[in-house]
Structure formats: structure tokens, C-alpha cells
A and B are shown apart, each in its own frame.
Chain A
Amino acid sequence: MSIPLFVGDAYLVAWLPEFWFGVVVFTLAMYVFLDGFDFGIGIVYPLARDEHERETLLAAFGPVWKANEVWLVGFGTILLGAFPPVYARLLSEHYLLAIAIVLALLFRGVSVKLREERDDEAWVRTCDRAFVAGSVISPFLIGTLVGSWVFASGTASVPALATGVLLVALSATSGTAYLGMKTRGDLRDRIADYGRLAGTIYLGAVVLVLGVLLALDVRGLRALVFTPGVLVPVVATVGFGIATVALASRRAYREWLAATAGLSVSLVGLVAALLYPTIYPAAELTVREAVVSPIPLNLLTVLGLPVLLLVVGYFLYLYRVFEGPVDVEEDEGGYGVGDD
């Protein structure tokens, strides 16, 4: 027995491999933005002045971080499902880095949960430190991996490490912007100031990465930087960066958050522009060479794509349920709920 859709050896549409390259990039952008602001909350967490402020920050990301983190698994498994050689090479050729990423994510995730399990001061401080360390190290290592992938430069190279710094700055920017929507009063005011600083650092990091690329002429990019495909996302990300600084100064919280989403999208767009038409530059592997054969990709499209749209739908629902500033005092549970 077979279904007509799955016989024969043609993709449903001729550009299906490129489309799935786009889906991979999309899941990466979702991850960079959504878990990015989780990391950002962890990055500014040491700046909280007292236990009440700390709990407010934790309550801001409590209901959503697990769901956000799943986008990384979504990215990984879609990469495996559509481009298995890329998945295999990306992880095996960056072995220690990949292991370090999953461990850093693990510390970030469990520390918040474990913090609630005991009341004594030393335990809570240890968990806090693990949370902050995990939140800084995770985006740095993920950025390093992405940099090493895109620039085919090896793990401990300047372009890879600069990309790591860039992702930490990006996370801090979106984290503060998200907190702008979730806090109020004096804390919110200070967060906006941190946000302005984070946006400025982000712009500095963009300049750093561009400078490194031009100076080292990685993958012959010196010639490519001024082609429209690369220039547009670069200009966009700088533009959004300037916008975040301005909007944070003017306390336009909603627009500020939207601008940081633009940062993530433009940056991942840049990743796509630098990769395509290859998808694994170190092996000079192109999208067409790495993609799975028609039947599994058609299956992934027919079964998986509607579900992906559904996922986006219930993410919107999740954020609607928990929209508005968190107010820790109103709830005796202390972690997560409170009326607007």
C-alpha cells in the first residue's frame, strides 16, 4: 500500500530544499530571539537589588523558558530531518563545544527550579550563580558554534569567538526589552537604562565582527560584504540596534521589544546570506547536496509544516495568557502569577 504523494522521486515543488533551508533558519531565529531574552534576563539578573527584584525577574521568564528552549531541539531535529550530513558534521566536528552547550543549558535550566527547593541562603546563592553563569555562557558558546559553522573557521578562532560575544550582547538587549514589558516602577526604569547600554554594546559587537571579517578576509568575505545579499541584513541589524537604544531611552517599551525581534531576525538572516548556497562551508556542502531525498522531505512537509504553524499559534496563546507585568507580591506562591 502506498500513498500517491509519496511515490516517485520528485520534490513536491522544485524549490522544496531551499524552502527547508529557510525553515531551519526560521527555527534558529525563533530560538535566538525567544531563548535569547531568557538568557538576557539571566545576564542582568545580578543587577537586581533585592530578593523581591530577583523573584520578579524569575517570574518574568518562569512560564515561558521551557517552551522557548524547545526551539533549539526544533532546530536540531529539523536539521537532522532535512540535512542529516550537516547535523552530523556540525556536532561531531565541534564535539567539546556541543557538549559544553548542552551542559551550560542544563545548568541554566535546572538552577531556577532547584533554587525553590531549599531556603538557606548559601543554596539560593549557589543556584543564582549557576543561573547567571549558564545564561552568559550558553549564548556565548552557541554564538561560537554558529560563527565556526558560518565562517568555517574552527572553534577557537577569532571570528567564532567574536560571534559568541555578539550573541551575548544580542541576548542582553532582547532580555532587557522583554523585562521592560514585564516590570514596573523603579526597576523598569533601571532596566531601560541597562537596555540602552546593552544596545550600545551590541552595536559595538557588530562592528567588532565586521572588523574581524574584513581584517581576516574570512572565506573571501571582504569582497562579499558589499553585495546586496549581505549588506541588507548588516544595515538592518545596525538600524535595529540604533533603534533599540533610542526606544529604550524614550521608554517606548512595546516598540523597543519589537526592535529587538528585528535584531534577531536580521542577524539570522545574515547567517543565511553568508551560508547560502552552501550549508556547511567547511566541507563545501551545498543545500542541494546535503538535503534528504524527495520522499522524506515531502513527508516532513506534509506532516510537519502544518504542525509548525500550529506551534507558532499556541506560542502566541502562551504569551497572551501571561502578558503584562508580573507582580510577585500579589501572589503568595511568589513565582509566576499575579493579576495585571
Chain B
Amino acid sequence: MIGGVITSLVADLTAIAAPTVLSGGPELLSRIQFAWTITIHIVFASLSVGLAPLIVYFTYRDVKTGSERYAQLRDFWVKVFALGFVMGTATGIPMSFQFGTNFPIFAEFAGELIGGPLAFEAKMAFFLEAVFLGVLLFGRERVSDRMYLASSVLVAIGAWLSAFWIIVVNAWMQTPQGFDLAGDVATMTDPIAAIVTPRLAWMYVHMQLSAVIAVALLVAGVGAYLLWKHDGNDAWRTAVTIALVLLVISAPVQALQGDAYAKHVEDTQPAKFAAMEAHYETDEGVALHVIAFPKTLEGFTDPRAENLYTLSVPMLVSYMLEGDPGAEVIGLNEFEHTPPVAIVFWSFRAMVGLGVWFVFLGLWGAYRRYQGRLSESDRLLKALMLSTPLGFLAMIAGWYTTEVGRQPWMVQDELLVGESVSPVLTGWEAMLSVAAFVAVFGGLFLIALYAFRRMVAAESRRLSEAEEPQPPEPAGPSPGSPTPEGGDP
């Protein structure tokens, strides 16, 4: 059934998009393909990053205290982690290979700068994660407690190092340095400058926090659902508490860090910043548009439409950047190459709006927990349930802001995306691979969601069985009635 829906959806999308996309040729198709595959991949990748420390914590408490509830939580989330890791590996292998298949000119141009970090990612991080995940999943009976705990730590280190080296590559593309341009190729001159770029720390902290927040919301959402269905379950109350503690700390820190990060973007990539604020003319006392729409209908199909209806707060952008309401801010019209404004503007707003909601949700949840009224507050539990996927959405919106905001540059001010695309790639080859990736990655994502729902349902069934060792109505065999556990005689 799902297959049928996907097929018809793909057919519809193809019918609508085909004319535009084919006219964009291999370049646009390659961009769509990379954007689509990385969007799916990043969800699984950040699931690993966010879950890894939690699994270490659960394993630690289990090994140290032998407490049943932590073993229960670990067993559940390790299964989710394993699913995410398999999907992450499967969807991740096409990522770096696309630098070769679709953007070979970029791979040649920047190979000296990006090849090393990507190789370090594979050797230092990916291997570590994959090898010790094998131990974590299959080795409980084969290794000592200490080694088992160490394996969970090594998996976590692998996940966080992996993200680090990938961010090294991306940060270099945003704020490239440490190289010389000789001919068509960037030659590395200063390895430290090439790795430690101005963007690196900003981006790494922001990304890791967003993964932690996304997973905190996921754990809180699942926990809220199970608490709501099984009132007073100790293990899942603990899970929600831990998730809320993570959220109430990381969401405000993320907001403050993000504010400073935006100023850094204005310093280093003024065109991207101007697109984030839909700010066209260099001016003093620049207003912040809360929302902005084109005045004409045609404007909606033009991502660079300038003539806008706006709801704005006067001078706020200037004030937020410089602490001075009259400060000058560079506008888009100063630049020869500018990104599509509408996508950057709206994805930035989606991210910030969701971020504000997470701060509120964290405070609200922590307050209720502090009162000891976590499972009594239906409204809170429902808000947590509805917010389950929002952390991932905020993260994707953030990446759209930063990556679409870099357009049309592949490497900021050095290499255009249009110049990076394979000269031997034909439109039909690209169309074929885009269609394959859309179908396969889309299908995988839906299957992963389905598998995840089944895990939650199974956990819910397990809790019901644990709660009611004897079925309440002895009369009549009902097919769904839980069987008594044979644990204690």
C-alpha cells in the first residue's frame, strides 16, 4: 500500500517538476539529488549523535546499579540506535560518493582540503562506531561489563568525531582558508588554518546541540506517549525527566549561541545574512521582518522577489547585530551572486520559531517535573507528543538556511556550484539517479518510521503485560489478552 502511495506521489511530482528540472539540466538535478539525500541522511546521522550519550548514560547506570529501569531504557533505545545506524550507513555511503559522481570538479578543486578530513572521518570515527556497535548490539554475553560500557563510550566518541570531521569540511566550504590557488586546484598551504576555519566552532556547537535537542524531544515524545497510556511507569518517567533536563539546558543555550552565530554569519557571509533577513538595500537602522510576502502573484514563483509586504520591527536587525539601532547593514543588491531569498528567509524563520517553542517547552516541562506533576498534566504530555519530530525539522530548516544561503557558491567566493558539476553527466543520467534516490531514500525513510512505530507499540504491549499479570476478566478467552509472565513462580 505504501509502495502504491509512493509510486503515485513520485509520478505526480515528476509530472509537475519535470519541465522545470530538465531545463535546469544536470546542475539543478545534481543539487536536488544531493539536497534530498542529505536531508534524509542527516536525520539518521543526528539520531546517532544525540542518542549516543544517552545510551552511554543508561549503560553506565545499568552496569553500576543493576537497576532494571535503565536496562529497559537502554534495550529500547539501543534498538532505535541500531535502526538509525543501519539507515545512516546505508544512506551515508552515497553522500561522499556524490562528490565524485556529480561534483567531480569540486572534488578535484578542493580534494587537498576536503579529502583529508573525509578520510579522517572514515578512519577515526566511522570504523570506531561500526566496530563497537557490533559489540554493543551482539556482545552483551561475550564481553565483561566494563568492556561493554567502554564499547558504548567508543560508539559515542565515534558518532561525535564523525560529525566533527564532516563539519570541518562544510565549515571550510563556508569560510575557506589555508590554501593557495594554483591553476584549477586549491593547494593546501596551512593545514591548521584549513581545518580550524572561522566557522568550525560555531557550526559544530550549533549542530551538536541541535542533535541533542532533536533526540531529547524524540525521547520526551515517546516517553510522554507511554506515560499517558501507562500512567506511572517508572522507567519512562525517568526517560522523560532526563529528556526534559537535556531540553531545558540545551534549548536556551542553543538560542543564545545561535544569536551570536548569526552575527558571525553577517561578518563572514553578508549575502547569506541579507537573504536570511530579506534585506536588499544597504541601509542604516534596518528593520527586522517577522514575515514577508511578495506583493505580486508572479513574485511567489521568483525566489528573489524584491517587492514585499512585510510585518516588521523597526531597526531591530541593526540593533541585534551591533547594539546600535542606527547601524549599517549590507544589503543583497551589493552582490553579484545571491542565494534564493525566499527559501533562506523562511527556513531561518522556521528554525528560530521552533527554537523559541523548544525553550518554552523545556521550561514548562521542567517546572511540571519539579512540581512532581509530570504525568498529571495531559496538556504537557500532548504538547510533548506533538513535538516529537520538531527537533529534526528545526535542524533541517537550519541546514537549509546555511546551505541554500551559500548558493550559488560551492566554496564561498571561490567556486560556483555551476562550475563544480560533472561535464560528462547527461540530463537523463541525472534524472534517472534522482528518481532512484527519491524512491529508495523516501521508501527507506517511511519504512524506518514504520519500524520505529512498531518498536513503540511493542514497548507499550510489554508495559501492559507487566502491569497486569492477571487478565481482569477471567470469563471468555479474548484474543488480545496478555499472557502471564512466567518470571516468578
Contacts and interface: CB of A to CB of B under 8 A. Distances in A.
Interface of A: 1-3, 6, 62-64, 66-67, 69-70, 72-74, 76-78, 80-82, 84-85, 87-93, 95-96, 98-99, 102-103, 105-106, 109-110, 113-114, 117-118, 292-293, 295-296, 299-300, 303-304, 307-308, 311, 314-315, 317-318, 321-322, 331, 335-337, 339
Given A84-B111, A91-B104, A308 B134 contact: no
B112 interface: yes
25 contacts: A62-B137, A67-B131, A72-B93, A77-B121, A80-B111, A87-B111, A87-B115, A88-B104, A91-B100, A91-B101, A106-B440, A109-B90, A110-B86, A110-B87, A113-B83, A114-B451, A292-B115, A295-B190, A295-B191, A299-B188, A311-B128, A314-B128, A317-B131, A321-B139, A337-B140
Interface stretch (B8-16, B268-276, B375-383, B424-432): B424-432
Given A80-B96, A307-B120, A92 B89 contact: no
A93 B424 contact: yes
A308 B191 CA distance: 20
A29 B429 CA distance: 30
B192 interface: yes
A63 B137 contact: yes
Contact of B107 (A88, A106, A113, A308): A88
Nearest to A93: B424
Interface string B97-112: 1011110110110111
Contacts of B461: none
A77 B454 CA distance: 36
B177 to A, nearest CB: 13
A111 B15 CA distance: 30
Contacts of A81: 111, 115-116, 118-119
Interface string B55-95: 00000000000000000000000000011011101111110
A120 to B, nearest CB: 12
A-B pairs, top 4 by smallest CB distance, nearest first, are A84-B111, A91-B100, A81-B115, A88-B104
B126 A73 contact: yes
Interface string B423-454: 01100010011001100100010010011001
Nearest to A105: B93
Nearest to B426: A95
A95 B29 CA distance: 14
A304 B108 CA distance: 20
Contact of B433 (A82, A96, A117): A96
A96 B430 CA distance: 9
B438 to A, nearest CB: 12
Given A77-B115, A87-B107, A105-B93, A95 B126 contact: no
A295 B422 contact: no
B32 interface: no
Contacts of B97: 76, 91, 98, 102
Contacts of A292: 111-112, 115, 188
Contacts of B86: 66, 109-110, 113
Interface residues of B, number: 71
B198 to A, nearest CB: 15
Contacts of B327: none
Given A62-B138, A90-B100, A99-B436, A106 B131 contact: no
B146 interface: no
B149 interface: no
Interface string B189-226: 11110000000000000000000000000000000000
Q: Would you call the interface of chain B mostly helix, strand, loop, or mixed?
A: helix
Contacts of A114: 447, 451
Most interface-central of A69, A72, A113, A315 (chain B CB within 10 A): A113
Most interface-central of B114, B137, B444 (chain A CB within 10 A): B137
Nearest to B37: A102
A303 B120 contact: yes
Contacts of A105: 90, 93
Contacts of A95: 101, 422, 424-425, 429, 433
Q: Would you call the interface of chain A mostly helix, strand, loop, or mixed?
A: helix
B305 interface: no
A80 B188 contact: no
B127 interface: yes
Given A70-B127, A80-B114, A296-B116, A321 B135 contact: yes
A176 B175 CA distance: 51
A3 B192 contact: yes
B85 A66 contact: yes
A294 to B, nearest CB: 9
Given A63-B138, A304-B116, 17 more contacts: A2-B192, A64-B134, A66-B86, A73-B93, A74-B127, A76-B100, A77-B123, A84-B110, A87-B111, A91-B104, A293-B112, A296-B113, A300-B119, A303-B116, A307-B120, A308-B123, A321-B143
A336 B138 contact: yes
Contacts of A93: 424
B473 interface: no
B130 interface: yes
A113 B97 CA distance: 23
A103 B438 CA distance: 12
Contact of B89 (A6, A64, A66, A317): A66
Nearest to B117: A81
Contacts of A87: 99-100, 104, 107, 111, 115
Contacts of A307: 120, 123-124
A87 B469 CA distance: 61
B430 to A, nearest CB: 8
B21 interface: no
Contacts of A311: 123, 127-128
B122 interface: yes
B246 interface: no
Given A299-B116, A337-B139, A69 B429 contact: no
A70 B447 CA distance: 23
Nearest to A305: B123
Interface string B16-29: 00000000000000
Interface string B136-179: 01111111000000000000000000000000000000000000
B123 A74 contact: yes
